[in-house]
Amino acid sequence: MPAIVFLFAGQGCQYYNMGAELFNTNVHFRNTLLTLDKEVRKMMGASVVEYIYDKYHHREDTFDDIRFTNPAIFMVQYAMARYLQEEMHMRPDCVLGSNLGETVAAAVSGAVRPVDMLYALIEQARIIEQQCCKGGMITILGDPAMYDSIPLLRDNAAIIAVNYEGHFTLSASQGALIAIQAYLDGKGLPYSVLPVKYPFHNLLLDSARDQFLNTLRHVGFAQPLITFFSGVQARQISKVDATYFWDAVREPIRFTAAVNQLEESGPCFYVDCSPSGSCNHLLTKILSPSSSSTRHMIMNPFGQELKNLKLLVQQRQALSLYS
């Protein structure tokens, strides 16, 4: 049987009303979110669930307030993973996250208590908002060699991920992002600016390091009960700590390299737990045409979560029968 791998995305995957179909129709998914939201209210004095599903917010509106995106990204993906495990009896053999998705992977693996990590994420959002300059991340459809050959990019941004051949992501200050967009527009090069207000995976984040690490002082770290594959180190690791989660937002993203390492171990059944389906999209570009692995997404901005869950069950049953 292929190994079941749960995938979790980070900053930029969020949008208003993400997972709305499941929230409105699935008791388990909704209750997990509401249980976490009770904890959020204690610390923030506000409801993340109400903010996500506010009727005045439309799916196409920009959702980039880090005070809410930090806990929201964690909560929605954790609720998805719990539903898959407890209601669909789909236990992952491995978890892999990217950026903030590393925190969800850790909670699902048993390496941290979800509420402890949620509290830390809320505090980290406050610190980043206070300590770091505004900025963001931009994905560019083009040869990553552009970065070294174009001074504007090389001198003003950090290359934080080579997603696949012909697609990479940069992180930069707000002013640099404006200049980079103008340059790309002038050259007719396609790009997408992520809904993120801060330059993650960039030295511009370093002013928040000490206080960021301090938010994790009360988090208890345990050995993962499920294989934890690192999106920072692109390998299996047996423990995580505060420094690891700083690295998850500061160091380059190695999601592609991590998937390639997993592929060397044999076929996988990838389940994208992200709200955007972004992990699944990357897999369409990363996986070799000869790969025996399969991939599946559940949530995306176009909805149809229930339909996608049915397809997931059918695909899993087909593989079980075949094996």
Q: Is 25 in the same domain as 81?
A: yes
Q: Is 315 in the same domain as 167?
A: no
CA-to-CA distance for 88 and 313, rounded, in angstroms? Answer: 8
Mean pLDDT of the chain: 95
The predicted structure's pLDDT at residue 58: 85
Q: What is the pLDDT of residues 233-246, one digit of tens each?
A: 999 999 999 999 99
Chain length of the chain: 323
Q: What is the pLDDT of residues 110-128, one digit of tens each?
A: 999 999 999 999 999 999 9
Instruction: Look at residue 315 and tell me whether its pLDDT is greater than 60.
Output: yes
Dump the DSSP string for 33-55: HHHHHHHHHHHHSS-HHHHHT-T
The predicted structure's pLDDT at residue 301: 92
CA-to-CA distance for 214 and 243, rounded, in angstroms? Answer: 10
pLDDT bin (cut points 50, 70, 90) of residue 323 is: very low
Q: In the chain, what percentage of residues exceed pLDDT 90?
A: 92
Q: Is 187 in the same domain as 216?
A: no
Instruction: Look at residue 186 and tell me whether its pLDDT is greater than 90.
Output: yes
The predicted structure's pLDDT at residue 158: 97
Q: Is 111 in the same domain as 256?
A: yes
Q: Is 149 in the same domain as 215?
A: no
CA-to-CA distance for 56 and 51, rounded, in angstroms? Answer: 9
Q: Is 236 in the same domain as 124?
A: yes
Instruction: Look at residue 320 and tell me whether its pLDDT is greater than 80.
Output: no
Q: Of the residues 196, 227, 242, which one is the last residue of a structural domain?
A: 196
pLDDT bin (cut points 50, 70, 90) of residue 318 is: confident
Range of the domain at 151: 135-196
| Cα separation of the two ends of the chain | 6
The predicted structure's pLDDT at residue 322: 47
Q: Of the residues 196, 231, 246, which one is the last residue of a structural domain?
A: 196
Q: Is beta strand 227-229 parallel, antiparallel or unpaired with respect to 236-237?
A: antiparallel
Q: What is the pLDDT of residues 250-272, one digit of tens each?
A: 999 999 999 999 999 999 999 99
Q: Is 9 in the same domain as 100?
A: yes
Q: Is 43 in the same domain as 57?
A: yes
Q: Of the residues 196, 228, 246, which one is the last residue of a structural domain?
A: 196
Q: Is 39 in the same domain as 126?
A: yes
Q: Is 258 in the same domain as 294?
A: yes
Domain count for the chain: 2
Identify the residue with better confidence: 322 or 191. Answer: 191
Q: Is 115 in the same domain as 252?
A: yes
pTM for this structure? 0.96
E-strand ranges in 117-258 read 135-141, 157-164, 167-173, 191-193, 227-229, 236-237
Q: What is the pLDDT of residues 3-37, one digit of tens each?
A: 999 999 999 999 999 999 999 999 999 999 999 99
pLDDT bin (cut points 50, 70, 90) of residue 57 is: confident
pLDDT bin (cut points 50, 70, 90) of residue 289 is: very high
Q: For residue 159, what is the domain's CATH number?
A: 3.30.70.250
Q: For residue 40, what is the domain's CATH number?
A: 3.40.366.10
**pLDDT (average), residues 170-183:** 98
Q: Is 225 in the same domain as 113?
A: yes
